[in-house]
Amino acid sequence: MSLTTTQLFNLSPAERTAAINTIAGEAYQGAGGADIAAVTANLLSRRLANYGGNTNLIDIVKAPQQYEANFDLTRDQIINPNLISKADRERIGAIFDNPALIKDAYQKTGGALSFRGTANYKYRRGDEYTPVEGKSNFYFDPLNPETYQKGLNVFSGVEAVGPATERAVQPGTTTDATKSNLRTNVTNNFLTNYIFGTADIAKKEDKPKSLVDQLKESLFNQTIGLNQKNQKTSLAQQLINQVKSGAGFISPGGLMQNYNDFYNRLF
């Protein structure tokens, strides 16, 4: 069984928690955890370097004016596992304790002791590691060769594996947002086409309408136009509200049945 990052670096539970809470506030959270891994590598690099005279991650993340996300947090807060949600804690922790991801970031940054966020891209040089362009931090100030090698020795036997790259959502890709938009469009089409008589179903409009159908249509249109505030229109609004709430996301086979039910209730 392979060792975790926590085990490789012999971190205490409080150090691990302090690191995860700091990462939650400092790293871009997407892109398969690329920036999470890079912030982790930064914290461990400072620990290896005895940065500011500190080798304990709690002292490192609470050093004055170092990690902006922690400026307003007390030491007790930064070691509190419940500072962030359980889901976030587990998600970040899974990346933090994957030494293959952390070694990959450590090598790509050269054990960077410093990073800056997107607001400081204007200060970035072309060779500084930026996990996710336009979203993540960029990393600089690498460890000296001797200290860097100390980190590689800790990761000895671990194969560096980078995280999955972030994929942009392509047009038409199903997401929660596009489902919502599609539902709105279907609702509008249902209301416009099937309630108010403009549907193009099997080209039925090409067939001459009987006198009975014409009379029904005329009565229906007059009722809708003249009685918008009476009980009959209230029934129409009920169906509209049902459609808006999700009942309108209907299979095509049920559309005419819904129309007939509505018609029978109305008349």
Contact 61, 43 (CB under 8 A): yes
Q: Determine the pLDDT at residue 238.
A: 54
In this predicted model, which residue has the larger pLDDT, 128 or 127?
128
Residue whose tokens read 């890709």:
173
Contact 55, 150 (CB under 8 A): no
- Model pTM score: 0.62
Domain boundaries, the chain: 5-154, 176-266
Q: Determine the pLDDT at residue 166.
A: 44
Q: Cα 128 vs. chain centroid, distance in angstroms?
A: 26
What is the rounded distance in angstroms from the CA atom of residue 95 to the CA atom of residue 267? 63
Average pLDDT for 241-254: 45
What is the rounded distance in angstroms from the CA atom of residue 262 to the CA atom of residue 249? 16
Most confident region among 92-106, 113-127, 194-208 by mean pLDDT:
92-106
Q: Determine the pLDDT at residue 162.
A: 86
Angle ∠(206,210,213) on CA atoms, nearest 5: 95
How many helices and strands, by DSSP H and E, does the chain display? 12, 2
Q: Determine the pLDDT at residue 31.
A: 86
In this predicted model, which residue has the larger pLDDT, 232 or 47?
47
